[in-house]
Amino acid sequence: MRLHYLDSLKIIAVFCIVVFHSGTFPEFGYLVGGLLENCTRWALPFFFLTSGFMLGLAREINLGRKVNKILQILFWSSIIYSPIIFIKSILLHDSFIERIVNLQTFFGGGVYFYLWFLISLIVVFLFVNYFSSNLKITQALSISFVIILICWITDLLRSCGIGHQEFYLFRILMCASLVYLGYLYSDNKDRFHFNQTFLLYIIIFGIVSVLAESLLMYYFFGSEIHQRQLPIGAVILAIGLLLFGIGRKKANKTFWSKCGSKYSLGVYLLHPFILTFTSELFKRIGVPYSTPNLLIAFFGSLAVMIFVERYFSWFYNTLNGVTAK
């Protein structure tokens, strides 16, 4: 049975990802703009939790097919971004080939840094497969929560100017932990039933936690509010929203649930392409706002995906990894 409410949450989540990629929202002021960004940080944990949940529904982790699908998406996404890399290499007078073929491409996330999550998914599936096959549930859960906690701490330190690379290492491990949590819940969902009102309280608590943590770190520790990537409340919020979406089994199919089901990945993959040009355009014409970037990038990439699915279904299937064996 299709979970239409969960699909609707997917398109909201990808909208939130476009929010924190669109800029710092100076039109709302430094503090409010930073709080807005931080309140959308639940989206990335939500997608990894959802990936784990869907993985659990499949009952079996087919590593070969999963890796092939990710590599296909990564390859064609990298092809899409190659013209931007080529233009940048000309403007900056460096080598196009060196920008394409380097360690960052193979270990960081493709030719464009927004694609990092695709590489991380390969690592994630290996971890989840190992956790589910070789560790007791209590051991895997303990490791997962410790990794999330360490990732949160390194993000706190990074926002205060202490450390940098450590966070990005633990971010990949955190993604594995979140996918495992979603996978574990999917495998045991019949044993746990959550009241929807209780989950609404969890969601509200997550939002309040994000705001409280952001303000406390800003006022008492001088944290750079726009540098936060993982307020701990964002994880709580993501878990609450996932469980809430799963619980709404009788939700009807809507336009937005269809968008979440069919186009959320495509919007994520395409919106940085649009942002590259809109950001430069608004900078040149003296529009120092992020909202136009957000609206054009989100609705533009959504419109492109709807158009591609309708008239170029072969490319839509290729870009979404549907044709991977």
pLDDT of residue 241: 97
Q: Give CA–CA dist 248/94, Å, rounded.
A: 52
Domain that holds residue 295: 4-319
Q: Give CA–CA dist 168/217, Å, rounded.
A: 20
Residue 300 CA, chain-centre distance (Å), reads 19
Select from 195, 214, 176, 182 the least CA-distant residue to 52. Answer: 182
Q: Give CA–CA dist 87/57, Å, rounded.
A: 43
Helices (H), the chain: 4-21, 30-39, 43-57, 63-91, 96-100, 103, 116-134, 137-159, 165-188, 196-221, 232-247, 255-284, 291-311, 313-319
Distances 31 to 35, 51, 54, 90, 154 between C-alpha atoms, Å? 6, 32, 37, 37, 22
pLDDT of residue 321: 86
pLDDT of residue 108: 54
In a domain, 324, yes or no: no
Contact indicator for 233, 213 with CB cutoff of 8 Å: yes
In a domain, 272, yes or no: yes
In a domain, 325, yes or no: no
For the chain, first and last CA: distance in Å? 24
In a domain, 170, yes or no: yes
* Total number of domains constituting the chain: 1
pLDDT of residue 203: 97
pLDDT of residue 190: 76
pLDDT in tens, the chain (325 residues): 788 999 999 999 999 999 999 999 999 999 999 999 999 999 999 999 999 999 888 766 777 788 888 889 888 888 888 887 777 777 666 765 566 655 565 555 555 667 788 888 888 888 888 898 898 999 999 999 999 999 999 999 988 888 777 788 888 889 999 999 999 999 888 787 889 999 999 999 999 999 999 999 999 988 889 988 999 999 999 999 999 999 888 888 999 999 999 999 999 999 999 999 998 899 888 888 899 999 999 999 999 999 999 999 999 999 998 877 7
Residue type, 226: H
In a domain, 303, yes or no: yes
